[in-house]
Amino acid sequence: MLYAILCYASEDVVSSWTKEQDDAVMGKLAAVQEKYAKAGKLGPVARLLPTTAATTLRRVKGESLVIDGPFAETKEQFLGFYTVDCADLEEAVQFARELSDVNPSGGSYEIRPVGVLNPVKATI
């Protein structure tokens, strides 16, 4: 089963890290990813740019409205995601737990099964 692991944390905390701190965190996360990649279970992984770079299209009274920034103000922001092919939910939870164990930002990981609608191999 394919799962999306959605990563949420305080953007203020993550953006306050120095380059060295960020590189250290990313290195620890890469070590977790490596064993899943070697097993052929890791799909695309993405880190989103800050919400200040976001644009939202919102449908209001039948009209499309394009606005700067995220749709809602929240304590934690959606910062990125992993896709991972796991045997079951337990394995997906274990992957998220391993990511959480090495990530000092706190936050949360939302684990959701993915129904593939357009199975196209990423070229990026």
Residue 97 lies in a domain: yes
Q: Is residue 54 part of a domain?
A: no
- CB-based burial label for 53 (10 Å; 0-12, 13-18, 19+): exposed
- Tell which residue, 72, 76, 69, 55, has the closest CA to residue 13: 76
pLDDT tens, N- to C-terminus, the chain (124 residues) = 999 999 999 888 999 999 999 999 999 999 999 999 999 999 999 999 888 888 888 888 888 888 887 655 667 888 999 999 999 999 999 999 999 999 888 789 999 999 877 666 655 4
98 falls within a domain? yes
Whether residue 119 lies inside any domain: the answer is no
Domain range holding 17? 2-49+75-113
CATH number of residue 33's parent domain: 3.30.70.1060
> How many domains is the chain partitioned into structurally?
1
Strand partners, 113: 3
Residue 120 lies in a domain: no
